[in-house]
Amino acid sequence: MNKILTGMLLTATTLWAHAIWAQPTFDGEKALAHIVSQVSFGPREPDNPAAKQQTISYIEQTLAPLTNRLTIQRFDYKGLSGANLWASIKGTSSTSSVRIMLGAHWDTRPQADRDHSPALRDRPIAGANDGASGVAALLELARVFAISPPPVTLDLVFFDLEDMGHIDDLPYSIGAREFVAKNPFYRPSAGIILDMVCAKTLSIPREQYSQSQAGELMDTIWSIAKQQNSTVFKDSPGIRIIDDHLPFLMAGIKVVDLIHYPFPDHWHTSADTVDKCSSDSLQQVGDVVQQFIASYKP
Ligand SMILES: [Zn+2]
């Protein structure tokens, strides 16, 4: 009897200590659920303003209880209306004036121009991977850091109109360019863009603009990935990719791009759907980014 009672007390004490001390961890399943939600709104592209508004509301409502501040920066570009969202989680230590940015594009490509079927090439993509996955990872990281705030201040930025490139002669990364231009005093110490991070076949080599202009930051990320035995991070050179990190690098801000390359078969096709995503891939990326932020030394 006594033994049983002692055992129960010990279990209760352990559970209590666990509840107090356990660090929250990134949950790939929760991130995957954020992808399912976004895809359910429909393509998040200029001809679908209802889906765009639903996505903005979803990001706002998810982040409202988790972040200290959330603003929407609207802009116009060649007849298109865009909206970047910016939320922050304040750091807790003497280094809280140091800021790190995590970014992802929340829009999706209005044309599946790489589809095998010509009939589908002018239709919008679902963007489970290309669009929703980066946003999903950021929303899940916000949950983790709301419970256990990071030492440095974390900015979560969601860019609109990334994926219009080569459509009507438009460029890529319209939203990220607007963000850099409209916020000249925003100069984070480091930043990471997450783009296409959910595929079952995920492979993230060292994107070359990031490597040549922010090599130390890349080394830190890849050493964390190595410690964690990550299989999705590949310690090999990728190619140069035009993405939302470029406007920052051009302004001298060290922001790197974690992006799937070689691009998956479903890239810019009607097959970019939730079934291509894996919670394990999201988990591996989330774990590395979480540790990068939690252990960041300015
Ligand atoms: Zn794309």
Task: For residue range 20-62, list pLDDT tens digits in order.
Answer: 456 789 999 999 999 999 999 999 999 999 999 999 999 999 9
Question: What's this model's pTM, rounded to 2 decimal places?
Answer: 0.92
Ranges in the chain, pLDDT < 50:
1, 3, 5-6, 9-10, 12-14, 16-20
What was the pLDDT predicted at 69? 86
Residues 6 or more apart from 155 whose CB is under 8 A from it?
Answer: 86, 87, 88, 99, 100, 101, 102, 186, 188
Q: How far away, in angstroms, is 38 Cα from ligand 1 center?
A: 16
- Ligand 1 is an ion; its neighbours by CB within 5 Å are 130, 163
Q: How far away, in angstroms, is 213 Cα from ligand 1 center?
A: 22
Domains of the chain from N-terminus onward: 62-294 (3.40.630.10)
Asked whether the beta carbons of 51 and 40 are under 8 A apart, the reply is no
Q: How far away, in angstroms, is 68 Cα from ligand 1 center?
A: 30
CA dihedral 221→223→227→228, nearest 10 degrees, is 30
Q: How far away, in angstroms, is 243 Cα from ligand 1 center?
A: 9
Supply 64's token pair.
Answer: 């409202």
